[in-house]
Amino acid sequence: MSVRQGYRVELAPTRGQRARLGQHAGLSRVVENFCLEKVKAALEQREAEKTYGIPAADLTPVPWSAPAFERLWRLGHRDRYPWFAGESLSSRVPKEACRVRAAGFKNFFDSRSGRRKGRKVGFPGWRKRKHGSRFRYDADRARPETARMVRLPGVGKVRTFEDMSWLADRIADGQARVIGSTVRERAGRWWVSFQLEIDRTDINSKRAVSSDAPACGIDVGVKTFATIVDDDGTVTQIDAPKPLKAALRKVRKAGRAVSRKRLGSSNRAKAVKRLARVHFEVANRRADFLHKTTTMLARSKRAIAVETLNVAGLVKNRRLARAISDLGFGEFFRQLEYKAAWYGSSVWAADRWFPSSRLCGGCGAINQELTLADRSWTCGCGLRHNRDVNAARNLLNAMSLVRDAT
């Protein structure tokens, strides 16, 4: 069975290839802003036409879709942007930039109408240089050429820092195909991310969780990242590296260095790059910890009970916002869910209002007086609880009850 999966590899471009990558990132930004300009112009024209009493059916149409944007780009780029053809840039980048802009408008309307879940999406804005350099290719226009080489249209064959034999062999055997790719620059380094349709049957079967593996409940927290209670009574605690907290002094020093440099100077540009590298190291440490932890759990537990956290609500607490964001709870649950599906495990999420910490695992009473500062508490039945262990055990018991009932 084929699944969607991402595969990211760092590029090792030459100086000339770096310039070409930057040109394509600039092209993508220009096209996205061109599409937004056309939409705003059409909306302003409609407002003007309404004042003339023109019927709604005869008003100027607004180009919301990717095909409409592509038509406008083909008609307008020769006069407005002659450098596009003159520099021999890839024609696939504007096509994908139009799709990205159209997707942004769709997300806005779906969010406003309630069809899109999650945080409200605003009306798309202008894309600027400070928003980062990135561009996309459609289908398999960009693909691995060899185990150490990637072919990027308009750029050429670019070497990679990492060996891609795992991916190249599967593409050659027909077990995987590239359905899209994104090239992005971060902290002065270039990456390509392939979106794949891949048959993971052989991989998952080799690394599938054992049938006699334990089930567990997991309580996540700020002091201890994860408290894991297995159905055999084993308790394991995992501490997070808290990469931002560890690098906070370095981040502040790099930030002050940026603020002391004159706007527009080359020294300020260098200081900005140094700050970006510090933040990139922080993000990499967090991602490494989350991937290793979720992979370990998905491959060693046959069933996992977790809580449903309102992370967006938790970060509104100004005293805990930085600590919670540093832990990456949302990404932890996301990775755990798809990796469990890979390796034959399962994830059960409790209701958001399930009182895992307040519930006594012995008598079932709920302690309404429990606060975040209470790391342990004693129930009226005389049973003393460690807050995190009790919560993890309650999640495990709730999952067992639900599964027994079904």
Question: Per-residue DSSP letters for 186-244?
Answer: ETTEEEEEEEEEEE-HHHHHHTPPPTTPPEEEEEE-SSSSEEEEETTS-EEEE----HH
70 among known catalytic residues? no
| Phi/psi-derived region of residue 114, left when phi > 0, alpha when psi is between -120 and 50, beta in every other case | left
Please, are residues 41 and 76 in contact by the beta-carbon 8 Å criterion?
no
Could you give the CA distance from residue 247 to residue 245 in angstroms, rounded to a whole number? 5
Backbone angles phi, psi at 82, to 5 degrees: -65, -20
Encode pLDDT of 299-308 as tens digits: 999 999 999 9
CA distance 406 to 402: 6
How many of the other CB atoms lie within 10 Å of CB of 306? 25
**What is d(CA 219, CA 230) in angstroms, rounded to the nearest whole number?**
12
CA-CA-CA-CA torsion sign (385, 292, 278, 133):
negative
Residues facing 9 on adjacent strands: 192
For residues 363 and 378, is the Cβ–Cβ distance under 8 A? no
* Count of CA atoms in the C-beta half-sphere (13 A) of 40: 11
- Strand partners for 236: 228
The tokens describing 84, both together, are 């596009």
Helix (H) or strand (E) holding 184: strand 176-186
Q: Is 232 in the active site?
A: no
φ/ψ of 177, rounded to 5, equals -145, 145
From the list 93, 90, 92, 84, the residue with the least C-alpha distance to 156 is: 90
Per-residue pLDDT of the chain (406 residues), as tens digits, is 789 999 999 999 999 999 999 999 999 999 999 999 999 999 999 999 999 989 988 899 999 999 999 999 999 999 999 999 899 999 999 999 999 999 999 999 999 999 998 889 999 999 999 899 999 999 999 999 999 999 999 999 999 999 999 999 999 999 999 999 999 999 999 999 999 999 998 889 899 999 899 999 999 999 899 999 999 999 999 999 999 999 999 999 999 999 999 999 999 999 999 999 999 999 999 999 999 999 999 999 999 999 998 888 888 888 889 999 999 999 999 999 999 999 999 999 999 889 998 899 888 888 888 888 888 888 888 888 889 999 999 999 999 988 877 6
pTM for this entry: 0.88
How many residues does the structure list for the chain? 406
Give the side-chain half-sphere CA count within 13 A for 284: 8
For residue 16, with 0-12 CB atoms within 10 Å meaning exposed, 13-18 middle and 19 or more buried, which class applies? exposed
Active-site entry in 219, 239, 337, 351: 219
- Residue 332: C-alpha distances to residues 103, 118, 250, 281, 391 (Å): 26, 18, 26, 18, 18
Q: Both tokens of residue 132?
A: 């980062």
- Among residues 96, 230, 307, 326, the one annotated as catalytic is 307
d(CA 290, CA 294): 6
String of DSSP letters for 311-357: HHHHTTSTTTHHHHHHHTHHHHHHHHHHHHHHHT--EEE--TT--TT
Residue tagged active-site, from 70, 96, 326, 388: 388
Catalytic status, residue 199: no
